[in-house]
Every structure is written in structure tokens, then in C-alpha cells.
């Protein structure tokens, strides 16, 4: 499942280019003007921020914790590293990196949504890890950091929500130092087609009801299910990553492809 980058106008380029364009113009299943998408996404996370962590546990029955742990296992963080967690939300990935490096990592967490960050920061301060993180409000598509500032770039369940995925991947390349590591955890596409029906029932019937019941917000969880279906499959996303100079792109499926981790290096 490894690919070398296709930066030479190969046929895969039109498929990946189409995928990026489709994402920019869609909010779940709705076609939207790309310049309205980030406002719509912001509304989702403003609405769910207070119940975000609880909902993650409930809707995945805690499985998101195993996926995030698998990401950190593959990352194998070195304690002295400079880490950037993009779209870091309430801090799960940053916390796990800190724990794995005995709090020696130089950890920066960036998110566009101040409410998600506030939620994470107050949770982190209560639990004792929040002060080891530099919390930055910013846009993954235009990072406020100098080139080659980081050894590691992580993004978990964030890239599906941005408008221009190409900009994020270009920014990942720019802020990583040569030899730096890119790791992305995201919902993906089932590798076991016989599970599709049950998964669709869960996604489009159970999930919105759970969202309404726990977070008082049905629509945000409809968006979640729809945005997952709109996100490129594992191989297309792998090729998209490869278009931006990142190398040795590979992926691992989690839970039969419900989620996947994509890994790459800036060489
Ligand atoms: N990484 C966290 C986790 O795994 O629990 C949070 C993931 S949450 C599903 C998605 C996050 O992406 C939200 O906090 C949202 O504000 C953030 N986000 C969406 N668009 C963004 C952008 N353009 N730049 C930075 N963060 C963004």
C-alpha cells in the first residue's frame, strides 16, 4: 500500500485533482460555494464543542481511542522532536504524544475553532497536560509557522473538514523539515463490502439520533456521516498526498477501513 509520488502529470492526477475539487465544493452531500464551506464547518464545531469528547466516546463506543493510539504507535515519536498537531481540537493527539514522550516533546496544537481549543485547554489544565502545549488558533491552509519548523506533522479527523485539501498538504510539506514525518488519521472507506449496509444504517439513522439526544444537534452528525462518504478512498487520498512532494506514502486500514492512517515523509 505504498506509492511513490505522481508529480509528473500521470493519469492519477486527474482523479486526485477531481477529488480535491469535489471536496472544496461540498458540505456533506450539499454542493456549496467553496468560500462558504469554512463558515459552515465552523458552525458544526461551535455547536458540538461542549459535547465533542463525550460524543466521540459514545458514537464509536470508545474505539476512536484505539485508532488514536494506533496512530501514535505508527508515529513512534522521539522525545526531542518538534510536533505540530493540526486541527487538534480538544487535544487528544497532542496529549498522547506528550504521554508517549514523557512530556519532553515540543508540542504545538493548531485549530481554526477557538471554542474547540478552549474546551481542550481547560480539560488539559484540569488533567495536568494542558500547560505543555502551545495552543494556536489558525487555519491549516495557511499555517503561521516558518518553513521547516517541525519534525512531525499530525492531523486526526481534521483534513476531511477543510476546504482546500491541497493547501493543507502543501503547508504540511512546507513546515516539515527534510526528513520530517506526516501522519493523517481520517475516516475512510470500508474494505469489507458486506458490512456496508449495517454501516450505512448506523451512520444515517443511529448517529443523527445520538447527536440530537446527546449534543442537541442532529444536523452536525448528518454532516459527519455525509462528509465521510464524500472523502476520497484510501488509494485516492494516498495519491493526493503524493502530489505535494511528500514521499513514501502508505496507509493502514483500521477497523476494516472505517478509518485509515496515511503516513508520508518529507525527504
Ligand atoms: N483532532 C481532534 C480529534 O481527533 O479529536 C479534533 C478533530 S475534529 C473532528 C475536527 C477539527 O478540525 C475541529 O476542531 C475543527 O475546528 C478543525 N478544523 C476544521 N477546519 C480547519 C482548518 N481549516 N484549520 C484548522 N482546523 C480546522
Bridge partners (DSSP) of residue 253 are: 260
CB 119 within 8 A of CB 50: yes
Q: What is the reported pLDDT for 1?
A: 44
pTM for this model (two decimals): 0.93
Of 39, 60, 154, 158, the residue with max ligand 1 atoms within 8 A of its CB, to mutate for a pocket test, comes to: 158
Whether 186 is in the pocket of ligand 1, judged by its Cβ within 6 Å, is no
**Does 140 contact ligand 1 (Cβ within 6 A)?**
yes
- Which is higher by pLDDT, 142 or 4? 142
Q: Which ranges of the chain would DSSP assign to H, the alpha helix?
A: 12-24, 34-48, 52-60, 63-75, 92-100, 114-127, 165-175, 196-201, 207-215, 219-230, 234-242
Ligand 1 pocket test: pick from 39, 64, 112, 115 the residue with the most ligand atoms within 8 Å of its Cβ.
112
Helix axes 34-48, 114-127, angle to 10 degrees: 30
Q: 89 in helix, strand or coil?
A: coil
Asked whether 111 lines ligand 1 (CB < 6 A), one says: yes
Instruction: Kindly state the cell numbers that stand for 47.
Output: 455547536
Tell the residue nearest (CA) to atom 14 of ligand 1: 89
Q: Does residue 151 have its Cβ closer than 6 Å to ligand 1? A: no
Tell me the pLDDT tens digit for each residue of 27-46. Answer: 999 999 999 999 999 999 99
Q: Residue 131: pLDDT above 60?
A: yes
Q: Which of 12-26, 30-44, 111-125 has the lowest mean pLDDT?
A: 12-26
Q: Quickly tell me which residue has 512532494 as its cell.
A: 245
pLDDT tens digits for range 218-240: 999 999 999 999 999 999 999 99
Asked if 231 contacts 158 with a C-beta cutoff of 8 angstroms, the reply is no
Centroid of ligand 1 to alpha carbon of 42 (angstroms): 9
Distance CA 19, CA 14 (A): 8
Q: At CA 30, angle to CA 50 and CA 21, rounded to 5?
A: 105
DSSP state of 202: I
Band (pLDDT 50/70/90 cuts) for residue 15 is low
* C-alpha of residue 53 to centroid of ligand 1, in Å: 13
Mean pLDDT, the chain, whole residue set: 93
Decide if 132 contacts 99 (C-beta within 8 A).
Answer: no
Give CA–CA dist 53/41, Å, rounded: 17
Atom in ligand 1 nearest the alpha carbon of residue 49: 14
- Calculate how far, in angstroms, residue 223's C-alpha sits from the geometric centre of ligand 1: 14
107 pLDDT more than 70: yes
**What are the angstrom distances between the C-alpha of 169 and each of 114, 166, 187?**
22, 5, 17
Dist. CA 89 → ligand 1 center (Å): 5
Most confident of 137-146, 187-196, 206-215: 137-146
Q: Is 254 in the pocket of ligand 1 (CB under 6 A)?
A: no
- How many of the other CB atoms lie within 10 Å of CB of 30? 12
Amino acid at each position: 500500500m505504498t506509492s511513490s509520488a505522481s508529480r509528473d502529470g500521470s493519469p492519477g492526477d486527474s482523479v486526485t485533482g477531481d477529488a480535491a475539487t469535489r471536496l472544496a465544493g461540498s458540505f456533506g452531500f450539499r454542493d456549496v460555494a467553496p468560500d462558504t464551506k469554512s463558515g459552515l464547518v465552523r458552525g458544526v464545531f461551535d455547536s458540538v464543542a461542549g459535547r465533542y469528547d463525550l460524543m466521540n466516546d459514545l458514537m464509536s463506543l470508545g474505539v476512536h481511542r484505539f485508532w488514536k493510539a494506533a496512530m501514535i504507535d505508527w508515529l513512534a515519536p522521539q522525545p526531542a522532536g518538534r510536533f505540530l498537531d493540526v486541527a487538534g481540537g480538544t487535544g487528544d493527539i497532542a496529549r498522547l504524544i506528550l504521554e508517549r514522550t514523557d512530556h519532553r516533546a515540543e508540542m504545538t496544537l493548531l485549530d481554526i475553532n477557538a471554542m474547540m481549543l478552549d474546551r481542550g485547554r481547560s480539560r488539559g489544565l484540569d488533567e495536568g497536560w494542558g500547560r505543555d502545549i502551545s495552543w494556536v488558533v489558525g487555519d491549516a491552509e495557511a499555517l503561521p509557522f516558518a518553513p521547516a519548523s517541525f519534525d512531525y506533522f499530525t492531523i486526526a479527523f481534521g483534513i476531511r473538514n477543510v476546504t482546500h485539501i491541497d493547501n493543507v498538504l502543501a503547508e504540511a510539506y512546507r513546515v516539515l523539515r527534510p526528513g520530517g514525518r506526516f501522519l493523517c488519521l481520517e475516516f475512510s472507506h470500508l474494505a469489507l463490502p458486506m458490512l456496508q449496509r449495517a454501516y450505512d444504517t448506523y451512520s444515517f439513522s443511529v448517529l443523527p439520533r445520538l447527536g440530537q439526544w446527546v449534543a442537541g444537534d442532529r444536523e452536525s452528525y448528518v454532516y459527519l456521516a455525509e462528509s465521510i462518504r464524500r472523502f476520497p478512498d484510501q488509494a485516492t487520498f494516498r495519491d493526493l498526498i503524493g502530489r505535494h512532494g511528500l514521499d513514501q506514502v502508505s496507509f493502514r486500514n483500521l477497523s476494516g477501513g472505517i478509518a485509515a492512517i496515511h503516513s508520508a515523509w518529507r525527504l
